[in-house]
Every structure is written in structure tokens, then in C-alpha cells.
Amino acid sequence: MESRQQSTRQQTTRKGKCCPSRAKRRTPYASVQNLYQLNRSRCAKSILSGDWDKETPSLNIDTQEGFWRPLMETHSKVDLQTPPQVYPSCEATSVPVTAVEVEKALRGLKDGVPGTDGVNRFMIRRCNRRALGAHMCLWLGCNCPPSVFREGVTTLIPKSAEAKLPGEYRPITVSTIIARLFHRILASRLEEHVPLSPRQKAFPRGDSLADNVWLL
């Protein structure tokens, strides 16, 4: 009987020693899974760099604000250059927005983080396409989008697991999803009527990264 009790105590002790290591493994595993769902590219980078099993660095808000507030509140320098006009004025980019364009942009809209207004993709998909297009026509006609488009939620993301200074964080600002939808329509028009230079590899559709790797 005593031997059985000792054996049970030993098994319990061994299991107790295993639990912390299991929990330690589960935490980074869950973190990688969550990051994969949110941003596959960033997930791959964290795995390749070895940062996936390290704790996410953080700085207190006072340190971050003291560094970023002067940078974000300082007015940009006035650009006195007069670049030559490459393309003639393209009136096709300011024609009325149709319900078809709105529907096409909605289909490609990802379920990202909502902006300050709390509107998400599911909420905006329930809106009338013609009504959304009519509002966008008003913004184009007035050459003045709503003031809420200038508001956003900024998140400071560490560039690496060893980030210790505010400058080692990358600010990502998320605007209202309505602004993102409007910008998708404008970007689609510009892509069609004002083509980018072949040297431009960022933002165009297609595997531009493969071209750069091949050239390198």
C-alpha cells in the first residue's frame, strides 16, 4: 500500500514538472497560430528570424509618446519643387462611382481592424451599394472627403523581438473601413488609367518580388 502511494506521488510530481514546459510550448504555438491568421507574411518573417518563441517587447506609453508626438505633430516642409507633368489630366478617375465598382471593391476588402468609428467589413457589406456610391460621388465632386478620414488608430509594432527603443517600433495607422473602401476604388481607377513605371515594384498586382529576386 505504501509503495503504491509513493508511486502515485512520484507520478504526480513528474506530471507537475511537465505542466510548466507544456504551457511554455503552448504559449508560443498559440501566438504563431494567431499571427498566421492575422498576417501570414509577418508570421513567416517571425519564424525565419527566430523571433516567434521570444516574448513580444513593450515600452510604456510615456516613453513612446515622448518620442513619437514631436515627429507626428511637426508640420512637413513645404515642397517647392515643380515636377514635370508625366501624364495629361485624366478625367476618368473622377467620374461618378457606380454600384458595380463598390461591389467589386467590397469583394476584395479584407476583414481588417475597424477604425475609430467601429465599422467593420460585415457592417459595411449590409449597406446599399448605390447609396455608398452616391456618397463617394459627393466626395469626388467636392474634392473634400469627410473629416473622419483623417482620424485613425495607430499601433506601434516592434520591428524585432529585441526592440528596446521607440525608434525600433513601426507605427501602423488604421483609418475607417469606409475610407479604405473609397481608396480601393480610386487605386483601381489609377491602376487602369495612370499606369506605373515598370521599375515600380511595390503595390502593383502580380509577383513583383519574384522579378526583383530574379534580377538580383
- What's the whole-number average pLDDT of the chain? 80
Residue range 161-181: mean pLDDT, rounded? 88
pLDDT of residue 22: 67
Maximum average pLDDT range among 1-15, 38-52, 96-110, 194-208: 96-110
pLDDT at residue 49 is higher than 90: no
Instruction: Say if residues 181 and 105 touch (Cβ distance below 8 Å).
Output: yes
Instruction: Say if residues 51 and 157 touch (Cβ distance below 8 Å).
Output: no
Count helices and strands (H / E) in the chain. 8, 2
Query: What's the number of CA atoms in the CB half-sphere (13 Å) around residue 73?
Result: 6
Amino acid at 170: R
C-alpha distances (whole Å) from 44 to each of 35, 40, 48, 146, 171 are 9, 6, 6, 37, 20
pLDDT of residue 179: 92
Q: Where are the domains of the chain?
A: 1-54, 57-69+91-216
Q: Give the confidence band of 132 by pLDDT, cuts at 50, 70, 90.
A: very high
Q: Give the confidence band of 102 by pLDDT, cuts at 50, 70, 90.
A: very high
CA-wise closest residue to 145 among 195, 112, 180: 180
